[in-house]
């Protein structure tokens, strides 16, 4: 039994924890806001999402340093890393970042390419014949689609460069190695062949790209390096501490939330949201994402862009009313106020219905959100908040219904909720539970993705036989 650090390089925050497998407890937890976004106002209008990767790594180091101080000289057996599994950063020939991190929310591929066809539409046309191999539709913000856009618009920028995912870039810095990826992250690029476990060279070639522009792939839950002496001097964790290959945040969150893989449905709500079920065998589908899980098996995923990001749209709207109409600039408890007002509204929002797809969806990037059924009695902030929350929950039930229509997907007995969107919003928990007509439980420990990353590092050094064994032994629940 040992102690492990899990680190989550998230969109909203960067979090880390120390996990003790003997006491089955999280001993320490630290989190800092991810304030690394550098997208200019002009570029935001274009749909860009750019982040200072060096600042993200600096913030991650500060979290690790705090954990090292908190550990009081306890031995750390290994470190696991997870984070934003979509997006990419370019590296030069010396493996130094030479571009911002272009995040998963980036929409530049929805610009027009030619003849009223967007870059994304052109890409999806090319990738249509590969869906059964890749398990996902190519979407804006994916590594392959962003590389395609860069190749078409600034080819000199990607000449003699390679790309990597943000969590892999962090591991590279920690260990002083060339960034390496695993299948869970690789699949998020959109050009990973699930059947061979390698990059799909034919699809990459048809996109006008090179396989050498993509990172090397190593198996999940394996050690790829150790904390370098240079890094040790910065963060205070002893050099030589093993570091496992980074894993995708969706898969890490599942491993850090679910103890019984085959009988559970996971609803994760953070900035975006996903519904995930574990499959012990590959089931091809063109409607949902099929993602490789850690070591073996797959996740069938309904991934949406609405979650905490959608609720923030309403928060910002109400805040703007306060500032522009009433001169109230400071509204620190606005989310709580929205939840209070929404709780006073009956289920069904008196006929007001919201589709909170304000930034489009991966399937329909041009789609926009709506409120419908507006009447003289339901046009209130409380009704808007309630209907938006109900709209978020509805997208997850739709995804689950689609899953059940696929042969081989059995009804899941347990509903698990994870992510800050679930944990910090009691009304959302109740609405999701009502939508699925079953009780919802949450993992005992927060920062589920970081827990999953820590467990993956425990598997990597041999404490557990596999990741399922690790989850089964560690995960416990709140019943509320």
Tens-digit pLDDT profile for the chain (480 aa)? 899 999 999 988 999 999 999 999 999 999 999 999 999 999 999 999 999 999 999 999 999 999 998 877 678 999 999 999 899 999 999 989 999 999 988 999 999 888 789 999 999 899 888 888 998 888 999 999 999 999 999 999 999 999 999 999 999 999 999 999 999 999 999 999 999 999 999 999 999 999 999 999 999 999 999 999 999 999 999 999 999 999 999 999 999 999 999 999 999 888 778 899 999 888 878 778 899 999 999 999 988 767 788 898 999 999 999 889 988 887 888 999 999 999 999 999 999 999 988 876 666 667 788 999 999 999 999 999 999 999 999 989 988 888 888 766 766 789 999 988 888 889 999 999 999 989 999 999 988 999 999 999 999 999 999 999 999 999 999 865
Q: Are residues 101 and 230 in the same domain?
A: yes
Give the pairing type, strands 440-443 and 414-418.
Answer: parallel
Q: Are residues 460 and 435 in the same domain?
A: no
Q: Are residues 237 and 321 in the same domain?
A: no
Distance between CA atoms of residues 137 and 152, nearest Å: 20
**Which helix or strand (DSSP H or E) is residue 258 part of?**
none
- What the block records as the tokens of 6 is 């899990």
CB 90 within 8 A of CB 163: yes
- Give alpha helix (H) positions in 327-369: 334-343
Residues contacting 54, CB < 8 A, separation 6+: 97
Q: Are residues 470 and 380 in the same domain?
A: no
pTM, two decimal places: 0.90
**pLDDT in the model for residue 49:** 96
DSSP string spanning 48-82? Answer: --EE-HHHHHHHHHHHHHHHHHHTTTPPP-EEEEE
Q: What number of H helices and E strands is found in the chain? A: 18, 26
Environment class of residue 316 by beta-carbon count within 10 Å: exposed (0-12), middle (13-18) or buried (19+)?
Answer: exposed
Q: Which of 172, 105, 113 is nearest to 140 (CA)?
A: 105
Q: Which of 294, 317, 302 is nearest to 245 (CA)?
A: 294
**pLDDT in the model for residue 360:** 67
Distance between CA atoms of residues 208 and 122, nearest Å: 12
How wide is the angle at C-alpha 253 spanned by C-alphas 249 and 257, nearest 5°? 175
Distance between CA atoms of residues 197 and 304, nearest Å: 25
3-state SS, residue 391: helix
Centre a 10 Å sphere on the Cβ of residue 402 and count the other Cβ atoms it contains: 16
Q: Are residues 304 and 453 in the same domain?
A: no
- Decide if 470 is inside a domain: yes
Distance between CA atoms of residues 242 and 189, nearest Å: 26
Residues contacting 42, CB < 8 A, separation 6+: none
**pLDDT in the model for residue 237:** 94
Q: How many domains does the chain have?
A: 2
Distance between CA atoms of residues 31 and 17, nearest Å: 9
Domain that holds residue 361: 261-442
Q: Which CATH number is 275's domain given? A: 3.30.420.40
Q: Are residues 421 and 456 in the same domain?
A: no
- Decide if 241 is inside a domain: yes
- Decide if 480 is inside a domain: no
Q: Which of 255, 131, 124, 126 is nearest to 184 (CA)?
A: 255
- Decide if 165 is inside a domain: yes
Q: Are residues 452 and 415 in the same domain?
A: no
């Amino acid at each position: 039994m040992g102690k492990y650090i899990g680190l989550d390089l998230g969109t909203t925050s960067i979090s880390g924890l120390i996990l003790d497998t003997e006491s089955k407890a999280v001993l320490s937890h630290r989190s800092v806001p991810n304030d690394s976004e550098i997208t200019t106002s002009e570029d935001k209008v274009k749909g860009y999402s750019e982040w200072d990767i060096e600042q993200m790594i600096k913030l991650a180091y500060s979290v690790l340093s705090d954990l090292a101080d908190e550990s009081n000289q306890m031995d750390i057996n290994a470190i696991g890393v997870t984070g934003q599994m979509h997006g990419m950063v370019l590296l030069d020939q010396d493996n130094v970042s030479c571009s911002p991190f272009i995040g998963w929310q980036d929409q530049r591929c929805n610009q027009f390419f030619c003849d009223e066809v967007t870059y994304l539409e052109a890409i999806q046309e090319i990738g249509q014949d590969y869906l059964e191999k890749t398990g996902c539709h190519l979407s804006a913000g994916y590594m392959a689609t962003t590389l395609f856009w860069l190749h078409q618009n600034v080819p000199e920028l990607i000449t003699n460069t390679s790309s990597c995912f943000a969590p892999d870039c962090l591991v590279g810095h920690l260990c002083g190695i060339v960034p390496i990826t695993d299948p869970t992250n690789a699949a998020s690029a959109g050009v990973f062949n699930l059947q061979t476990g390698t990059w799909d060279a034919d699809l990459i070639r048809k996109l006008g790209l090179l396989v050498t522009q993509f990172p090397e792939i190593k198996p999940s839950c394996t050690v790829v390096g150790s904390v370098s002496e240079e890094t040790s001097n910065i963060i205070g964790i002893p050099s030589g501490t093993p570091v496992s290959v980074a894993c995708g945040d969706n898969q890490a969150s599942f491993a850090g939330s679910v103890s019984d893989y085959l009988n559970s449905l996971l609803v994760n709500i953070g900035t975006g949201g996903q519904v995930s079920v574990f499959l012990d065998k590959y089931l091809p589908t063109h409607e949902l994402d099929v993602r490789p899980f850690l070591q073996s098996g797959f996740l069938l995923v309904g991934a949406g862009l609405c979650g905490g990001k959608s609720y923030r749209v309403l928060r910002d709207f109400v805040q703007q009313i306060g500032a522009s109409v009433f001169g109230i600039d400071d509204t620190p408890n606005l989310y709580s106020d929205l939840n209070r007002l929404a709780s006073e509204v009956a289920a069904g929002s008196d006929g007001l219905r919201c589709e909170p797809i304000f930034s489009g969806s991966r399937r329909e990037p041009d789609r926009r959100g709506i409120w419908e059924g507006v009447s003289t009695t339901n046009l209130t902030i409380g009704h808007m908040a309630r209907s938006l929350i109900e709209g978020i929950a509805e997208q997850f039930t739709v995804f689950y219904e689609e899953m059940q229509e696929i042969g081989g997907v059995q009804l899941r007995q347990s509903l698990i909720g994870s992510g800050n969107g679930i944990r910090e919003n009691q009304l959302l928990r109740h609405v999701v539970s009502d939508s699925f007509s079953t009780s919802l439980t949450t993992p005992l420990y927060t920062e589920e993705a970081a827990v999953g990353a820590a467990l993956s590092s425990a598997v990597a050094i041999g404490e557990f036989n596999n990741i399922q064994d690790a989850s089964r032994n560690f995960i416990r629940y709140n019943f509320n």
